[in-house]
Chain A
Amino acid sequence: AQTVTQSQPEMSVQEAETVTLSCTYDTSESDYYLFWYKQPPSRQMILVIRQEAYKQQNATENRFSVNFQKAAKSFSLKISDSQLGDAAMYFCAYRSPITQGGSEKLVFGKGTKLTVNP
Chain B
Amino acid sequence: DADVTQTPRNRITKTGKRIMLECSQTKGHDRMYWYRQDPGLGLRLIYYSFDVKDINKGEISDGYSVSRQAQAKFSLSLESAIPNQTALYFCATSDLTGDYNEQFFGPGTRLTVL
Contacts and interface: CB of A to CB of B under 8 A. Distances in A.
A56 interface: no
Contact of B42 (A50, A52, A91): A91
Given A105-B33, A105-B45, A110-B41, A45 B90 contact: yes
Q: Which 5 A-B pairs have the closest CB atoms?
A: A108-B42, A45-B105, A105-B45, A43-B108, A108-B43
Given A108-B42, A108-B43, A110-B41, A44 B99 contact: no
B103 interface: yes
A44 B107 contact: yes
Nearest to A42: B107
Nearest to B59: A105
Given A103-B45, A104-B94, A110-B41, A50 B58 contact: no
Contacts of A9: 40
Interface string A52-68: 10000000000000000
B42 A109 contact: yes
Interface of A: 4, 9, 33, 35, 37, 42-45, 47, 50, 52, 91, 95, 98, 103-106, 108-111
Interface string B1-32: 00000000000000000000000000000010
Interface string B30-69: 0101010000111111001000000010110000000000
Interface residues of B, number: 28
B56 to A, nearest CB: 7
Given A52-B100, A98-B101, A108-B43, 15 more contacts: A9-B40, A33-B101, A35-B102, A43-B107, A44-B105, A45-B108, A91-B43, A103-B45, A103-B58, A104-B31, A105-B59, A106-B45, A108-B44, A110-B42, A111-B40
Nearest to A110: B42
Nearest to A105: B45
29 contacts: A33-B101, A33-B102, A37-B105, A43-B88, A44-B105, A45-B90, A47-B102, A50-B100, A50-B102, A91-B42, A95-B101, A98-B96, A98-B101, A103-B45, A103-B48, A103-B56, A103-B58, A104-B48, A104-B101, A105-B33, A105-B59, A106-B43, A106-B92, A108-B42, A108-B43, A109-B42, A110-B40, A110-B42, A111-B40
